[in-house]
Amino acid sequence: MSDFEGIFPYLVSPVNHDGTVKEKVMKDLINHLIESGVHGITVLGSTGEFAYLNWEQKKEIVRVAIEAAGGWVPVIAGVSHASSVEAALQAKEFEKMGVDGILAILDTYFPLKEDQIVEYFKTIAESVNLPIVIYNNPKFSRTDLSVSVIDKLARIPNIEYLKDASGNTGKLLTVMTRVGNKLKIFSASASIPLSVMMFGGVGWMAGPACVIPRQAVKLYNLAKAKNWDEAIKLQRRLWRINEVFQKYGLAPCIKAALEIQGFPVGDPIPPLKPLDEAQKKEIADILEYLESE
């Protein structure tokens, strides 16, 4: 499998009320995303409600994603646990199942010092022979990876990527300057994917790309061609759907949008709640606007 770059949608986890995974729906969605031109698939991220899934559900979601992707695009699986050892065991199991990469997510209870944070990611990386994507999401993990931590992690051979959801472009520029020859950077924040790609980032890993895959791929292609004027226009246009996602919550909004688009992915996993009819109408209007280009 070649290097990861481009648009990697973060999939929702379609789960029935009895906890079973909606296999057909998930495969249909993945096929649609691949046909729309995405460059990879990622499961068990924030959009995938990984914090609300049990281990058997996680394995089933990874299995279905690998089968649906069929080798056409790489599949990256999210790994997260408060225990370094348990997170490494998850990574090993997903490697056996056939994923192409691991997204390492920091899950904390007690505050961690820098050396402990480095050890967590290092333990995951050394447990597998796969490329690792480090996920920096201070909003949810309550830890913003420092430049010094990222610098240390970049020295571990199979830690090859950083997905950054901090939205801090100044810090990203510092990271790129210091470790840009070692780590490839993906944007996670929906507000700045174009900025990150302008700075030398390799793509966008994002939940919204589940809903707007064609437009996300177009944004990437415009950036790769350095057609900045058209890319900026598209980035501004796409911002409307990101505004509503921020207002009502990522996973519930994306599941609602996919239902509107004909993918019966089901409700968010409790305790998350589905959107009401007025909120769904707001999303439907924005989707209609984006499809009218």
Confidence at residue 20, expressed as pLDDT on a 0 to 100 scale: 96
Any long-range contacts for 49-54 (C-beta under 8 Å, 24+ apart)? 49/12, 49/13, 49/251, 49/268, 49/269, 49/272, 50/13, 50/78, 50/80, 50/105, 51/80, 52/269, 52/270, 52/272, 53/13, 53/15, 53/269, 54/19
- Which residues constitute the domain of residue 95? 6-227
User: What average pLDDT is seen over the chain?
Assistant: 93
- What is the helix (H) or strand (E) element at residue 135, kind and residue range? strand 132-136
State the residue for tokens 């770059």: 5
Residue 14 covered by a domain: yes
What Å distances lie between residue 180 and 82, 167, 244, CA to CA?
29, 18, 33
Residue 272 covered by a domain: no
> Which of the four pLDDT bands, split at 50, 70 and 90, describes residue 180?
confident
**Residues 8 and 209 sit within 8 Å (Cβ to Cβ):** yes
Residue 292 covered by a domain: no
Q: Name the domain count of the chain.
A: 1
pLDDT at 1 over 60: no
Residue 187 covered by a domain: yes
> Which of the four pLDDT bands, split at 50, 70 and 90, describes residue 48?
very high
Percentage of residues of the chain with pLDDT beyond 90: 76
Cβ within 8 Å of residue 114, ≥6 positions away? 146, 148, 149
CATH number of domain containing 195: 3.20.20.70
pLDDT at 175 over 60: yes
Question: Within a 10 A sphere around the Cβ of 199, how many other Cβ atoms?
Answer: 17
Beta bridge partners of residue 76, listed in sequence order? 42, 101
Q: What is the DSSP letter of 12?
A: -
> Which of the four pLDDT bands, split at 50, 70 and 90, describes residue 165?
confident
